[in-house]
Amino acid sequence: MSIERATRTPVVETTPLLEVSDLRVRFRHRGRQVHAVNGLSYRLAPGRMLAIVGESGSGKSVGVRALLGLLPPTATVTGSARLDGVELVGLPDKEMRRHRGADIAVVFQDPARSLNPTMRVGDQITEAIRAHRDLDRAAARERAVELLRLVRLAAPEQRFHEYPHQLSGGMRQRVMIAIALGAEPRLLIADEATTSLDVTTQAQIMDLLLDLQRRLNMAVILISHDLGLAASYAQDVVVMYAGRAVEHAATAELFEHVRMPYTRALLGAIPTLEREAHALLPVIPGQPPDLSALPEGCPFRPRCPSATERCAQEPPLDEHEPGHWWACWHPVEEASA
Ligand SMILES: Nc1ncnc2c1ncn2[C@@H]1O[C@H](COP(=O)(O)OP(=O)(O)OP(=O)(O)O)[C@@H](O)[C@H]1O
Ligand code: SF4
Ligand SMILES: [Mg+2]
- Binding site membership of 56 for ligand 1 (Cβ less than 6 Å): yes
CB 283 within 8 A of CB 314: no
- Report the C-alpha gap between 193 and 191 in whole angstroms: 5
| Substitution candidate for ligand 1 out of 24, 34, 77 with most atoms within 8 A of CB | 34
Rg (CA), the chain: 20
Q: Model confidence over 157-191: pLDDT tens digits?
A: 999 999 999 999 999 999 999 999 988 899 999 99
Which ligand is closest in space to the CA of residue 57? 1
Q: Tell me the C-alpha to C-alpha distance, in Å, between residue 62 and each of 26, 282, 327.
A: 10, 22, 21
User: How would you class 330 by CB atoms within 10 Å of its CB: exposed for 0-12, middle for 13-18, buried for 19 or more?
Assistant: middle
The β-bridge partners of 44 are 18
- Binding site membership of 306 for ligand 2 (Cβ less than 6 Å): yes
Given this model, what pLDDT does residue 266 score?
A: 83
d(CA 304, ligand 3 centre) in Å:
24
Backbone angles phi, psi at 28, to 5 degrees: -85, 125
Reference 330, options 311, 314, 312; nearest CA is 311
Residue with CA closest to ligand 1 atom 27: 56
pLDDT by position in tens, the chain (length 337): 333 334 444 444 568 999 999 999 999 999 999 999 999 999 999 999 999 999 889 999 999 999 999 999 999 999 999 999 999 999 998 999 888 878 999 998 877 778 999 999 999 999 999 988 889 999 999 999 999 999 999 999 999 999 999 999 999 999 999 999 988 899 999 999 888 888 888 889 899 999 999 999 999 999 987 778 888 999 999 999 999 999 999 999 998 999 999 998 887 744 444 444 444 555 678 888 999 999 899 999 999 999 999 999 999 999 999 999 999 999 998 655 4
**Rounded to the nearest 10 degrees, how much is the dihedral formed by the CA atoms of 168, 140, 70, 40?**
90
- Binding site membership of 34 for ligand 1 (Cβ less than 6 Å): yes
3-state class (DSSP) for residue 232: helix
Q: Kind and range of the H or E element at 241? A: strand 236-241
In order of their start, the domains of the chain are 18-103+185-336 (3.40.50.300)
- Binding site membership of 284 for ligand 2 (Cβ less than 6 Å): no
CB 223 within 8 A of CB 59: no
- How many other CB atoms are found less than 10 A from the CB of residue 163? 15
d(CA 61, ligand 3 centre) in Å:
4
CB 201 within 8 A of CB 135: no
d(CA 64, ligand 2 centre) in Å:
26
Amino acid at 127: E
Given this model, what pLDDT does residue 337 score?
A: 47
- Report the C-alpha gap between 167 and 172 in whole angstroms: 6
CB 45 within 8 A of CB 14: yes
| Substitution candidate for ligand 1 out of 23, 25, 27 with most atoms within 8 A of CB | 27
